[in-house]
Amino acid sequence: MTHKILILNGPNLNMLGEREPDIYGSDSLEGIGVACQHKGQTLGMAVDFRQSNEEGELVTWIQSAAKGYSGIVLNAAAYSHTSIAILDALRAVDLPVIEVHLSNIHRRESFRRHSYVSQAALGVICGLGAQSYLLALDALARILDEE
Ligand code: DQA
């Protein structure tokens, strides 16, 4: 069976490539999406890669993943540090979640060190740029294989 994986990106990640490249690198979000699609193919997974600047839209997408998806990779961006609504949605769907960040949130301002998303995540991968997403797909493939 092909697992469907939902990869969600939060606010301002549509500006990757132009936005603070010293922190987030020069990859565009589109480029990361293509790399994730290719990685998914090698792992026998169908990847659905999306971005929204709106908290409510991310919550709605997480809720709808309960039907038909096997796991979630989530870079909630700034909402990681603020959103109880996203945490509650992740808890409601009961799917394996891997939290990712491009930057190492533990090396930056102290307000980035706390993430609500982490409380619902099986694992957290940060600081490795686009590679954070690809490693998250590897991790999910293994977790789903073991189920
Ligand atoms: C981020 C880290 C967050 O603190 C920040 O608000 C982002 C991006 C990352 O991928 O490094 O927008 O999630």
Domain boundaries, the chain: 3-146
Known catalytic residue at 106: no
pLDDT of amino acid 15: 97
Res 35: pLDDT: 98
Q: Is pTM beyond 0.85 here? A: yes
Per-residue pLDDT at 107 exceeds 80 = yes
Degrees to nearest 5, angle at CA 63 with 104 and 40: 55
- Using the atom order of ligand 1, give the atom closest to the CA of residue 81: 4
How many whole angstroms from 76 Cα to the centroid of ligand 1? 7
Residue with the nearest Cα to atom 13 of ligand 1? Answer: 77
As a whole number, mean pLDDT of residues 26-33 equals 97
In CATH terms, the fold of domain 3-146 is: Rossmann fold (3.40.50)
Percent of the chain having pLDDT more than 90?
Answer: 98
Q: Mean per-residue pLDDT for 38-46?
A: 98
Sheet with 71-75, strands from edge to edge, namely: 45-51, 3-9, 71-75, 97-101, 123-126
Q: Give the pLDDT band of residue 147 (cuts 50, 70, 90).
A: confident
- Catalytic residue from among 24, 69, 116, 133: 24
